[in-house]
Structures are given as C-alpha cells and as structure tokens.
C-alpha cells in the first residue's frame, strides 16, 4: 500500500510466444492501481530479460494474403461454438487478443475479471 496513492504489485512473469511455445522471455513488472480514480488505467512499468522477436515472415504472409483477397475479409464468431479457430483466421484471432489486452488494461481494477472470449464480427476496412 502507498498511502494516499494506491496499491502497488511487483510481479515476475514469463511471456510465451503463442505460435512458438519454446520461445519465452522473463519479465518483471510493477503495477500501480490508483486509489479513488476508478477511470484511471493502472500504471505499468516492466523490464524484459531478453528480446521479444516477431516473425516478419508470418506478418508479410498475412499482409499479402489479406491484400490479395478478391472480396474484403468478413467473418463472425471466432472461435466457433466448439472453440475452433480456422488456420486462415488465426492471425485475426491474434490481432483481437492484442486489442482485448489493451481494452482490459485501460479498464482494469484490482477486482476486474475480464478475459478475451470471442470475435463477434470482423470486417476488413
């Protein structure tokens, strides 16, 4: 507890690449939840022990595929009612996870219990 300011937590995390679970990076983080102002996102400071590596090749394949579609990408209910994500929708699913993480962080409280569940609708713009 930090008097008059909020509650601070110190964490040690391991981040895992969803597409390559053998690639992990250790992370330390401090999260400060402010008292009184429930609209304020928590302050997060972090340090990575190593480097998060992105696959430019996979990103380029996704970009090329999306650009080559004859009709704009439109999809619903990802994953489906059985929890399945088709291989061609996997990159969209990963983008949605990033977006949901940001929304959850911006709207988080110490008692928040949100998690990303499903893309209801996606449309390429």
Listed by start position, the domains of the chain span 1-53, 54-124
Query: Residue 123: is its pLDDT beyond 90?
Result: yes
Query: What is the CATH code for 54-124?
Result: 3.10.450.10
- Please determine, for residue 82, whether its predicted confidence score (pLDDT) is greater than 80: yes
Whether 1-53 and 54-124 share one fold: the answer is yes
Q: What is the mean pLDDT of residues 88-102?
A: 92
Confidence band of 30 (pLDDT split at 50, 70, 90): very high
The model carries a pTM of 0.78
Percent of the chain with pLDDT over 70: 100
Mean pLDDT of 95-103: 93
What pLDDT does residue 43 have? 94
Q: Give the pLDDT band (50/70/90) at residue 23.
A: confident
Cα dihedral across residues 22, 19, 16, 51: positive or negative: positive
Q: What is the H or E stretch that residue 10 is in?
A: strand 6-17
Considering only the top CATH level, what class is 1-53?
A: alpha beta
**Residue 15 near residue 25 (C-beta atoms within 8 A):** yes
Q: Is 89 left (phi over 0), alpha (psi -120 to 50) or beta?
A: alpha
Task: Look at residue 54 and tell me whether its pLDDT is greater than 80.
Answer: no
Average pLDDT over every residue of 14-18: 89
Confidence of residue 102 (pLDDT cuts 50, 70, 90): very high
Helices vs strands, H then E, count in the chain: 2, 5
């Amino acid at each position: 507890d930090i008097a008059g300011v909020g509650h601070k937590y110190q964490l040690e995390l391991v981040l895992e690449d969803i597409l390559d679970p053998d690639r992990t990076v250790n992370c330390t983080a401090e999260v400060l939840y402010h008292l009184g102002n429930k609209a304020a996102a928590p302050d997060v400071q972090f340090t990575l022990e190593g480097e998060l590596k992105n696959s430019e090749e996979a990103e380029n394949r996704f970009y090329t595929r999306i650009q080559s579609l004859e009709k704009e990408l439109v999809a619903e209910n990802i994953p489906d009612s059985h929890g399945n994500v088709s291989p061609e929708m996997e990159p969209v699913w990963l983008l949605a996870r990033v977006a949901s993480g940001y929304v959850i962080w911006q709207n988080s409280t110490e008692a928040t219990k949100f998690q990303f569940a499903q893309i209801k609708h996606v449309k390429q713009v």
